[in-house]
Amino acid sequence: MLIEKAIVPLDGSATAEVVLPYAEEFLGSTASELILVFVKDPYDKRSDNMLQSYLEGVTNRVKTNAMQYLKKPGIREFKVTTRILIGDPAEELVKFVEQNQNSQITIASHGHSGRGTRWPLGSVADQVANATDVPMLLIRSEIDRPAIRPKGHFHHILAPLDGSRESEASLPYVIEKALIYNAEVTLLGVLFFTMSGDGSATPEHPKMIEKKADVAKYLSKQVEFLEGKGVSAEYIVRETSSSIADEINQFTRDNIMDIVIMSTQGALGLRRWMMGSVTNRVLREGNTPLLLIRPFRK
């Protein structure tokens, strides 16, 4: 497996715990290791015994809930470990992740935690994403737009591609998730065009029609690749003159995607896809779990 462990940062708040249903599904579906991590501020006066008691309570709950997703027969006990770290949350998480390669971080991407540590979750997630090459599953946790979905597996995966090797770095993870959860995959290509008064750059212009056909041909080949790996897949080509990220987010809303898996960077010629632009906007303005893959791990 590409992902052998899931690291789940917690701070004792309901905001951070919004990720637990996803961690439980990962644990039950793969029987891989789950690591619950609490980063304690140096000025936090709570004892380690108190924090360990909290983590043990979460551990018991996670193990119980993971049973509903169990796929591998004969498993009597899930492997869930806990760690208490002391220091700056982002710095400590990055150091911990570097010691646990072949892992995935599952973290809330928005909001602030409750009493005690007061993690700025969005800031921590951003810092960790930019400092490590480990895949990150980011879950929106804003109260007015919760990402909690009905219990069940990830049935529909959306994978935006732009034709670059960088964007294709997400495909091994798309395959792994699809096979684990028996999910259907939709590959999405978004063709950007600039409106012009003379009609030379509109969807109806022969050059744009030709470009759309090229994108469709490329995505068709990727679908064949996925199907060769045993994955059920299709492709969709969309056009936009405004925002690629908006088009991706609208597609997830219109088609009820359960998870978006995409690279942090790539290139489409007319417009680049990279962390800080398209991927960043998909994260901040969408409401679908996002598995973020950094191309070409060190």
Domain ranges of the chain: 5-139, 156-273
Among 164-168, 193-197, 242-246, where is mean pLDDT lowest?
A: 193-197
Q: 121 and 141 in contact (C-beta within 8 Å)?
A: yes
Asked if pLDDT for residue 42 goes beyond 90, the answer is: no
Q: Which residues are 184's β-sheet partners?
A: 156, 232
Residue pointed to by tokens 């684990």: 180
What digits encode the pLDDT tens for the residues 67-85? Answer: 888 876 666 689 999 999 9
Residue 291: which of 262, 266, 269 has the closest Cα?
262
Residue pointed to by tokens 């997830």: 252
Average pLDDT over the chain, rounded to an integer: 82
Asked if pLDDT for residue 142 goes beyond 70, the answer is: no
Among 22-31, 110-119, 198-207, 213-222, where is mean pLDDT lowest?
A: 110-119
Q: 149 and 287 in contact (C-beta within 8 Å)?
A: no
Any idea what the Cα angle at residue 160 is, between residues 155 and 161, rounded to 5°?
Answer: 135
* b/e 3-33 (16+ beta carbons within 10 angstroms → b): bebbbbbbbbbebbbbbbbbbbbbbbbbbbb
User: What proportion of the chain, given as a percentage, has pLDDT over 90?
Assistant: 39
What digits encode the pLDDT tens for the residues 120-137? Answer: 556 787 788 777 888 999
Asked if pLDDT for residue 258 goes beyond 70, the answer is: yes
pTM beyond 0.95: no
| Residues near 234 by beta carbon (within 8 Å), at least 6 away in sequence | 184, 185, 186, 187, 223
Asked if pLDDT for residue 34 goes beyond 90, the answer is: yes
Rg, C-alpha atoms of the chain: 20
| Residues near 133 by beta carbon (within 8 Å), at least 6 away in sequence | 294, 297, 298
HSE (CB half, 13 Å, CA atoms) of 104? 28
Q: Do domains 5-139 and 156-273 have the same CATH topology?
A: yes
User: Is residue 118 very low, low, confident or very high in pLDDT (cuts 50, 70, 90)?
Assistant: very low
Domain 156-273: which CATH number of 3.40.50.10420, 3.90.470.20, 3.40.50.620, 3.60.15.10? 3.40.50.620
pLDDT value at residue 202:
66
What digits encode the pLDDT tens for the residues 47-70? Answer: 889 999 999 999 999 999 998 888
What digits encode the pLDDT tens for the residues 215-246? Answer: 999 999 999 999 999 999 999 999 888 888 89
Q: Per CATH, is 5-139 categorized as 3.40.50.620?
A: yes
More confident residue, 113 or 265: 265
User: Is residue 16 very low, low, confident or very high in pLDDT (cuts 50, 70, 90)?
Assistant: confident
Q: 238 and 251 in contact (C-beta within 8 Å)?
A: yes
pLDDT value at residue 208:
77
Give me 229's structure tokens.
Answer: 């790996």
HEC string for the chain: CCCCEEEEEECCCCCHHHHHHHHHHHHHHHCCEEEEEEEECCCCCCCHHHHHHHHHHHHHHHHHHHHHHCCCCCCCCCCEEEEEEECCHHHHHHHHHHCCCCEEEEEECCCECCCCCCCEHHHHHHHHHHHCCCCEEEECCCCCCCCCCCCCCCCEEEEECCCCCCHHHHHHHHHHHHHHHCCEEEEEEEEECCCCCCCCCCCCCHHHHHHHHHHHHHHHHHHHHHHHCCCEEEEEEEEECCCHHHHHHHHHHHHCCCEEEEECEEECCCCEEECCCHHHHHHHHCCCCEEEECCCCC
